[in-house]
Amino acid sequence: MSVFSFAIGVGTKNNDGQWLEVYYQAPLLHPTTELINAAKETLGYEGGNEALDVDGAELNAFADAVESNFPAQAMLARACTESKKPIVVTILGEDTQATSTPEVYLKLHLLSHRLVKPHGVNLAGIFGLLPNVAWTNHGAIDLKELPQAQLEARLNGELLSVNSVDKFPRMTDYVVPSGVRIAHTARVRLGAYIGEGTTIMHEGFVNFNAGTMGVSMVEGRISAGVVIGDGSDLGGGCSTMGTLSGGGNIIISVGEKCLLGANAGIGIPLGDRCTVEAGLYITAGTKIQVLDDQKNIVEVVKGRDLAGKSDLLFRRDSISGAVQCVTNKTAIELNNELHANN
């Protein structure tokens, strides 16, 4: 049988037995039929999408069944038998809309492990399945249980530090992709896809289901759903418009070898080798003067008419204030030394 994903996870539940979060060390995409058959025989998997609460005996039985052909999964299963935290085996028969918190966390892990690319997995309805959690130096804590946890920590001479209150944790508490630099880890959410060679500086931000496809310098904001092509540079304070808050369905993207200047922004997708001048925000409705090689105005169009086109330079006339577009003859090349993240 064909199955979309499989993972063994260790997580956190609140006092009512509801899942708050799940950590999957080694999720699998399209696991083999043999592995899934072992899950049926030992863990009670019946097909479809399931999040199975399992105990030590079931994990040992599963490990025995897969040890010869899947030693890494067997080792992980045996390690989890000694866990003081709840263990879940999550199996996604199909990439359909999630129905449980462990399923959502598995999909977010698949993105951050680079097993699927942004927009490559069904994330419909995930907000209703992700509880708002206090992320602390002692892990995830239900907000209703936070005051008691804070008191207990104080009575034990400890400080319970609340790092954030959010539905999404920071990615690096779950996944640290190879070949990246992340200066401020709290600004990258689980579910971000960070390409090999990417550098995210202190003010850079990457949301879930978004990210970089290769070598990029990120000093601005990559909103949910936005994909940045290889070799592109997002300058300090720049912004990419997501699709969540505006209710639109246009997927914003940046092609390869593009530059968004400091404090610039886009509400349209860019093709390859495009530059947006510092401080200039281009939206779908922005009126833009298109110039020829002699800098004569050929026509006036809206930003949406230039969406996805390559080799364009967007700028603002410093005298008239008009937004202009000319052919970009000098596509940027990023400094290779800056992106040596090995």
Q: Give the residue numbers marked as catalytic.
A: 219
- Cβ contacts of residue 16 below 8 Å, gap of 6+? none
- Cβ contacts of residue 300 below 8 Å, gap of 6+? 287, 288, 289, 290
CB atoms under 10 Å from CB of 54, counted, come to: 21
- Cβ contacts of residue 270 below 8 Å, gap of 6+? 253, 254, 255, 258, 276, 307, 308, 312
Say how far apart CA 180 and CA 204 lie, in whole Å. Answer: 13
The two three-digit tokens of residue 145, written as one number: 């249980």
- Cβ contacts of residue 280 below 8 Å, gap of 6+? 261, 264, 265, 314, 315, 316, 323
Contact between 270 and 285 (Cβ < 8 Å): no
| Torsion angle of the four alpha carbons 243, 322, 318, 241, in this order, in degrees rounded to the nearest 10 | 0
The two three-digit tokens of residue 317, written as one number: 């006339």
- DSSP per residue, 49-107: EEEEEE-HHHHHHHHHHHTTT-HHHHHHHHHHTT-SS-EEEEEESS-----SHHHHHHH
Say how far apart CA 76 and CA 23 lie, in whole Å. Answer: 12
Say how far apart CA 96 and CA 122 lie, in whole Å. Answer: 6
DSSP character for 188? B
Contact between 140 and 13 (Cβ < 8 Å): no
Contact between 209 and 118 (Cβ < 8 Å): yes
